[in-house]
Amino acid sequence: MYSNFYIFKYSAIMVILVAALLSTAAMLLKPAQDRNLEIEKMKSILASANIEATSDDAIDLYKKYITKEIVLNPEGKQIDLYENGEFIDGDERAFDIDLKKQLYRKKNNENYQLPLFVCKKGSETLFIIPLLGKGLWGPVWGNIALKSDFTLVEGVTFGHKSETPGLGAEIDTKEFQKQFIGKRIFNNLGEFTSIKVVKGGIDLLPQNLKIHGVDAISGGTITSNSVADMLNNNLSSYVPYFKKNR
């Protein structure tokens, strides 16, 4: 019969050994996990420009098509430029910016930084903006690619953590996302409009406003509103840069 001391001692040793093994495993796996996250991010950026990539070719395609990573300040001034694999100005890649942290700083009227990706696709130059917002049950995110006039949408991608399947989760479907292609974020007067996600459909809008709207998801009103809020909040931060470079 083992004493209580022996049992406690044995249990403590086993707990320490298991914790050490788990910690070691986590450390060994972290580089691979970080790489997988980077690849998924590259795939999403490329997909917004309608460039399909796989886990095997995402890095090569990203290097081929994303020719510049620019970091902007709130006034729309370039503060860092990463071009063709090396820093031209500054020392922080737009790819590495923590967007959640920067949006929090913006919310609190603090200085913040904005990532912008330049994509060369054939004869076209596209500008890709990462997006982050709050959905019904968790974060929503994505990327939007604009043509060189900074107003016409080339494509979008959206993702979510835990929106309702068959309802809000539909934001990550091609059927929802393809509605954004060809929409405009500025009107003919040069005023920023963003893109509205309209409950009941854009047929409810006046004809001149339909170019700035898409149909909301049936039964997913809150998530649809979250996408609209995300677009407005994120894109509005880039308006100074757009107006300087249009």
Contact criterion met (CB below 8 Å) for 120 and 51:
no
Report if residue 92 sits inside a domain.
yes
Q: What percent of the chain shows pLDDT beyond 90?
A: 77
**Running DSSP on this structure, what letter comes out for residue 143?**
E
Report if residue 28 sits inside a domain.
no
Report if residue 220 sits inside a domain.
yes
Lowest mean pLDDT among 60-69, 83-92, 222-231: 83-92
Indicate the number of domains in the chain. Answer: 1
Indicate whether 244 pLDDT > 80. Answer: yes
| Best CA proximity match to 242, nearest among 95, 70, 62 | 70
**Running DSSP on this structure, what letter comes out for residue 184?**
B
Report if residue 19 sits inside a domain.
no
**Cα separation, 9 vs 171, whole angstroms:** 53
Report if residue 176 sits inside a domain.
yes
Q: What is the pLDDT of residue 195?
A: 97
Full domain range(s) for residue 128: 43-245
Report if residue 24 sits inside a domain.
no
Q: How confident is the model at residue 20 (pLDDT cuts 50, 70, 90)?
A: low
